[in-house]
Structure 1
Amino acid sequence: MHRRNFLKVVGSSSVILAASTSMIGCSTISGPSADQPWHIAGSNYKDFRMRALSWAILAPNPHNRQPWLVKMIGADSLVLSLDTERMLPETDPYNRQIMIGMGCFSELLRLAAAEDGYHLVIDWFPDGVVSETGTLDNRAIASIQFVKGAEPDGLFKQVSKRRSFKKEFLDKIIDSNILNKIEDAQIEGALINLNNESIFVEKMRKLTIKAMDVELSTERTYLESINLLRIGSDEVKANPDGISLNGYSFTILRMLGLFTHEDARDMNSSGYKQSAEDLLSVLDSAYGYVWITTPGNNRLDQIKAGQNYLRVNLKVTELGLKIHPISQSLQEYDEMGGSMENVNKLTGVNAPERLQMLARLGYGEDISASPRWPVDKMIRS
């Protein structure tokens, strides 16, 4: 759900500028664009389940790993499971964030089904549940039946416009009356919390910057992100997931061999240091925060957190705000322990309650959508 654009490459070389006249927008890979699923969601399928799934794949998820798998059952049901090859073992060792992403997926599936008049009857973890400290496996996450009788939810109108905003926010205060409307998105199982008070915002900026610095300076967690880089249009189209560095400049740099994965892995380079500084300055532009808590931290709690986070995204979009998940401080690896403790203290979260999601809020320009695999990619026989 974050850190997909933390490398900023600025090139003014005459070679790059000259190349741009003939190479801009070029891709050597044929086929649909990496963002095509955003443009065709809800169409092309007679099966109402496929229509709903074509929307559900647009859900926010950690590092854009898109870990969902689906098996169709009969004429009105499906089984949702997890692609265990799409985990984040370094930054998400207990798969908590992956499970939150599955919660986002399930809620968007529910909203999309309701547009066709169906509600979902969900049996969670029908084959048994993995503990919150265990490693998820290929057991079913949910058995889902589509049943006629649902009314559409107004938040669905925002799905195609939803984005995770990874840039600096505009210098504009969030009115508290607008901020508080985000709470209207809340459904059972989790609590939506908000704050835009200047003292709180300043403290949270510092804490989230510290947490991001921990992740960037810890080699194994940094490299987990780097290994998921897709540099330039060819790589993004070939693998429309992970951390996409798309656009003309990255495409040209990649094609000319001036920016590679090896370059990005060098933590001693001036480029690494500048990129880290750029990302930390982005976090320093927040004008408010939203965080989601659950009564505990079992797998269903994590699902409920994800469902509420999806709804927060849609409500934020409806209100004209932008949102950026910054949950580094909530991650369960040793180096992050102090940051987690400090964020819990600032937000007033005490065990057994669990702070599941944290995101910064502000205003900004419209941005392009993150790449997605076609919906057919997730279907298993």
Structure 2
Amino acid sequence: MKKEKTLKVIAFSVAGIVGLCLVIIAALFIISGFFMPKKYMEPWQKDYATQFSDPRVSLAAVGLLAASNHNMQPWKIKLDKADPMVFYLYADSTRRTEEVDPNSRQMMISQGTFLEYVAVAGDKTGWHTDITLFPDGVYDESHLAHSMDLKPVAKITLSKTHPQDDKLYSAMFLPDTNREAYKPEKLNAEQENALTSLSAQDGLYVKLYQDTADLSKIGGFAIQSAAIESSVTRVMDESNAIFRPNEYLKDKYRYGYSVEGQGSAGFMKNIIQGLVTIFPTLNTGKAASENFIKYTRASVDSTPAYAMIVTDDNSRITQIESGMLYSRLVLTGHELGLAMQPLSQALEEYPEMKAPYDGLKQAFAPGGTIQMLFRVGEPTKDTPLSMRRDVGDLIIYYDFDSLYKLSDQP
């Protein structure tokens, strides 16, 4: 009898603990926003761009899937009212990350990633895109933010053509960045040639590194720069300010960072989102710094190859062209079964980063500029898609509702 009572007490205790755990998990899922519709994922649907009657908007809706510095999506679109085949790309000066990118070099690269996606989308849907960079002249560097507001990065002129069967188009709907472990196998000759041959113009090069000595040296710079960045409070504060810990904030802002970028997905993503929402210090201060270094080291330890985009000069036009080339590399990489991840810290140009910045440049691009440094390899697992803004948030236009197809109107 006593034994039966003891077993009942244990059973009730276990049931109570299980019940409490389920309540806690349910609470974390609610706090995480698990049940919310994820509007920030809508632009990734292939029919998202097709709902607009204006081809300029349709192309911009695909362009915003491109990679951007810190996922800031720093783009503005102005539609020419006089010519329905012309639109302009502006750099959004309110989306500068001035601590890590004080010279706005990464921001200009992001303009290029957008333009290349627009061009690829145009080829697929039957629109030739004639892109003219800085049609109103280059920026006044002494008043950079104001100049960004006044002068377009590019004028895009459309003309009707035959749709092309471009395999790169489908690749635009895949994640542009994979931070997971890569398989140890080096790139084969076909993959290497396909990537390095994309830099067809003078003064713009793709360099690939797979030798053990180069991997060790570049990985050392990556870890050194991550340690430096994690110790600079103002830089970490800038990153923390654009961290979206739950679905509510991801849907509200639709740009920046989230726990998916730290390798969380599925069930655990919602648990972590709930915990970080309740205890924000889990992803700030010392904890954030330690996690950042840990993830960088893990990435370096599972990298079979690094690639760089190196240029002879560092003009604004060259920076944009580097971004266009990087988008082409990402899309081609998908076709080759490869993933990529930028390691931008060693290329950031604030004072504390001077030592690794100078060291990397001296070792691998003396006399030139390394515009991009990134990991390359065959991924071991898929990675989630990241937040994207609605295309309407990019467009400077007096009547955005009129851009939807008539058939979609109520």
TM interval, shorter chain, is 0.7 to 0.9
From 233, 236, 242, the counterpart of 1:222: 236
Give the TM-score taking structure 1 as reference length.
0.87
From 79, 93, 97, the counterpart of 2:102: 93
Query: 1:55–1:109: 8 Å Cα contact kept in structure 2?
Result: yes
Query: 1:186–1:311: 8 Å Cα contact kept in structure 2?
Result: no
Structure 1 residue 38 corresponds to structure 2 residue 57 = no
CA RMSD for the aligned pairs? 2.6
Match of 1:211 in 2: 225
Match of 1:265 in 2: 284
Query: 2:245–2:276: 8 Å Cα contact kept in structure 1?
Result: no
Give the TM-score taking structure 2 as reference length.
0.81
Between structures 1 and 2, the one with greater helix share: 2
Query: 1:231–1:251: 8 Å Cα contact kept in structure 2?
Result: no
Q: In the aligned structure 2, how far is the partner of 1:299 from the partner of 1:369?
A: 29
Match of 1:333 in 2: 350
Q: What is the DSSP-based 3-state SS (H/G/I as helix, E as strand, rest coil) of the residue aligned with 2:295?
A: helix
What amino acid maps onto 1:354 in structure 2?
A: T
Summarize the Cα distance change of 1:179–1:142 in structure 2 as closer, same or farther, 3 Å threshold. Answer: same
Query: 1:29–1:237: 8 Å Cα contact kept in structure 2?
Result: no
| Deviation of the 1:166 alpha carbon | 1.3
Q: In the aligned structure 1, how far is the partner of 2:182 from the partner of 2:392?
A: 36
| Deviation of the 1:27 alpha carbon | 2.5
Q: In the aligned structure 2, how far is the partner of 1:80 from the partner of 1:111?
A: 16
From 59, 62, 73, the counterpart of 2:69: 62
Q: What is the DSSP-based 3-state SS (H/G/I as helix, E as strand, rest coil) of the residue aligned with 2:50?
A: coil
Structure 1 residue 367 corresponds to structure 2 residue 383 = yes
Q: In the aligned structure 1, how far is the partner of 2:114 from the partner of 2:182?
A: 27
Match of 1:169 in 2: 182
Q: What is the DSSP-based 3-state SS (H/G/I as helix, E as strand, rest coil) of the residue aligned with 1:58?
A: coil
Q: In the aligned structure 1, how far is the partner of 2:142 from the partner of 2:374?
A: 24
Match of 1:236 in 2: 250
| Deviation of the 1:21 alpha carbon | 4.4
Match of 1:4 in 2: none
Match of 1:82 in 2: 91
| Deviation of the 1:18 alpha carbon | 4.4
From 180, 183, 197, the counterpart of 1:184: 197
Q: In the aligned structure 2, how far is the partner of 1:14 from the partner of 1:230?
A: 30
Q: In the aligned structure 1, how far is the partner of 2:317 from the partner of 2:64?
A: 20
Query: 1:169–1:286: 8 Å Cα contact kept in structure 2?
Result: yes
Structure number with larger C-alpha Rg:
2
| Deviation of the 1:302 alpha carbon | 0.3
Structure 1 residue 277 corresponds to structure 2 residue 294 = yes
5+ unaligned residues in a row in structure 1: which ranges? 1-12
Summarize the Cα distance change of 1:255–1:60 in structure 2 as closer, same or farther, 3 Å threshold. Answer: same
Q: In the aligned structure 2, how far is the partner of 1:132 from the partner of 1:264?
A: 36
Greater displacement, 306-315 / 131-140:
131-140
Greater displacement, 55-64 / 366-375:
366-375
| Deviation of the 1:324 alpha carbon | 0.4
How many matched pairs? 365
| Deviation of the 1:220 alpha carbon | 1.3
Deviations 1:281-317 (A, max 9, x none): 2222211011101221110000110000000101111
Deviations 1:6-36 (A, max 9, x none): xxxxxxx996664334654762885553222
1:193-208 superposed matches below 5 A = 193-208=207-222
Structure 1 residue 114 corresponds to structure 2 residue 123 = yes
Match of 1:160 in 2: 173
| Deviation of the 1:41 alpha carbon | 4.1
| Deviation of the 1:180 alpha carbon | 2.8
5+ unaligned residues in a row in structure 2: which ranges? 1-17, 398-410
1:6-45 superposed matches below 5 A = 18-21=23-26, 24=29, 27=33, 31-39=37-45, 40-45=47-52
